[in-house]
Structure 1
Amino acid sequence: MTSTKTIHQTISTPDGPFTIIARAEDGAVLASGWSDDVQVMLDRIRPADRPASSAPGEIAASEAVEAYYAGDLSAIDDVLVAQSGGPFRTHAWSVLRTIEPGKPLTYSEFAVASGRPSAVRAAASACATNAPALFVPCHRVLRTDGSLGGFAWGLDVKRSLLAREASLALQPD
C-alpha cells in the first residue's frame, strides 16, 4: 500500500452511482466505476499502488463525467489518469483512450492497435484490469463476434454506454 493521499466522490448518472478515486495533489483518477462503494474502487487499484484509505472530496473529473452524460463524449478525453502496469498493459491502456466513441473495436482489433496482433488475451486482460473506467474507455472493446463480452460494471452499463456513444457519434457537429 502507498501513502498517496486520495479523495473520492460519488455522483449520480443515468447508469447508476459513479465513484471516482483520485490523487489529492493533482486530481489524477486512480479508479472509477458505477458503484457507490468506495472499497470496491480501492480494490480496483493495483495492490502496490493502493492507498490505505480515501477521504470524501470534490474531484474535477466529476465535471467531465457530467459533461459526458450531457452529450459531450470528448469531455473524458483529457482527464488525467494514473495506473501502473507492465509495458504492454500500460501501452494498451493508452490505446484504449484513442478508440473513438461510436466506433468500438473487437479484442482482436484492439490487440493489433496495441502493436501485438497475437496478444488477444493480453489485450482482454488490459481491459479487465483497467481501473479508471470511462476515462480509459475499455467499454469500447467487443468480442470478435461483435457481442459485448465482459465488463466489470455489468453488461447493462456497457450496453448503455455504447448505445449513447453510437447515437451521439452519428449526430452532426
Structure 2
Amino acid sequence: MTIAPARYATVDTPPGPFTVLVTAGPDGKDVVLASGWTDDVTELLPVVHRSLRPTWVERADDDLPVLAAVAAFWAGDVTAIDGVPVRQRSGPFLTDAWDALRTVPAGAPDTYASFAQRCGRPTAVRAAAGACAKNAAALFVPCHRVLSTGGGLGGFRWGTPVKRWLLDHEASHASVPA
C-alpha cells in the first residue's frame, strides 16, 4: 500500500535547514513520515518504509501545522514535539523501540544500554542503537537523546554537531526532576 500524496516543508533552525514530510492520518490531520536536517526532501524518502512511501510529494503551499510544534521547540518548549503524530513501520522490536524513544525526557538522555532496558531488552544494546539509526522521524522520535554507553555522543544520521546542539538546547530548557 502506498500513501499519496505527501507534503513537505523546510524551515530554518539554529542547527540548519529542517525538512518535515507529512501525510494525512485517518483523522485527516498531518502525520510525520520523515524529518531531518536537510533542505532536500529526496534525502528523506529512502528512510520511509516502502509500505508508507508516498507515490509523490509536493511542497506545502501553506505552513504545515506540525511546524508550530517545531517553532515552539526552538523557542524553548522542548516538550512541544511530544504529541506530534508519527507513522513508521517495521518489525515489533523497532516499533516498540521508537515508541520507547518518545519516553526519553528532554534534558535527561539515555545511554544505549539504558535505552535497551527501557525497551524491555537489556541485552539488546546493539539492536537499541540500530533502532536509533533507523528512525526516520528525527526530532519527533528523539533518537538524539541516546548516547554511547561510555557517555560519548555516538552517531546521528544528521551529524554529531546537530546532535550536540539538540542536547544542549534541551538541557538548557528542560525541567527534569533531579
The structure richer in helix per residue is: 1
User: SS of 1:8's equivalent?
Assistant: strand
Checking the alignment, whether the CA contact within 8 Å between 2:106 and 2:176 is kept in structure 1 is no
User: Which residue is equivalent to 1:20?
Assistant: 20
Alignment of 1:23-172 (within 5 A): 23-24=23-24, 25-57=28-60, 58-169=63-174
In angstroms, what is the RMSD of aligned CA positions?
1.5
CA distance in 2, matches of 1:170, 1:79: 20
Q: What secondary structure is seen at the aligned counterpart in 1 of 2:120? A: coil
Match of 1:2 in 2: 2
Per the alignment, in what secondary structure is the counterpart of residue 47 of structure 1?
coil
> CA contact under 8 A between 2:18 and 2:36: conserved in structure 1?
yes
What is the identity, as a one-letter code, of the residue corresponding to 2:141? V
Q: What TM-score do you get using the length of structure 2 for normalisation?
A: 0.92
Q: Given that residues 3 and 23 in structure 2 are in contact (C-alpha distance below 8 angstroms), is that contact kept between their aligned partners in structure 1?
A: no
> 83-92 or 56-65, which moves further after superposition?
56-65
Contact 2:30–2:66 (Cα < 8 Å) also in 1: yes
User: In the TM superposition, what is the alpha-carbon distance from 1:48 to its structure 2 partner?
Assistant: 2.9
* Structure 1 residue 47, shift from structure 2 partner: 2.3
Task: Indicate the SS of the match to 2:90.
Answer: coil
Amino acid at match of 1:26: K
Q: Output the TM-score relative to the length of structure 1.
A: 0.95
Matched to 1:12, the amino acid is D
Matched residue of 1:59: which SS? coil
2-structure distance, mates of 1:107, 1:28: 27
User: Hey, what's the Cα distance between the residues in 2 that align with 1:171 and 1:123?
Assistant: 23
Structure 2: stretches of 5+ with no match in the other structure: none
- Report deviation, 1:60: 1.1
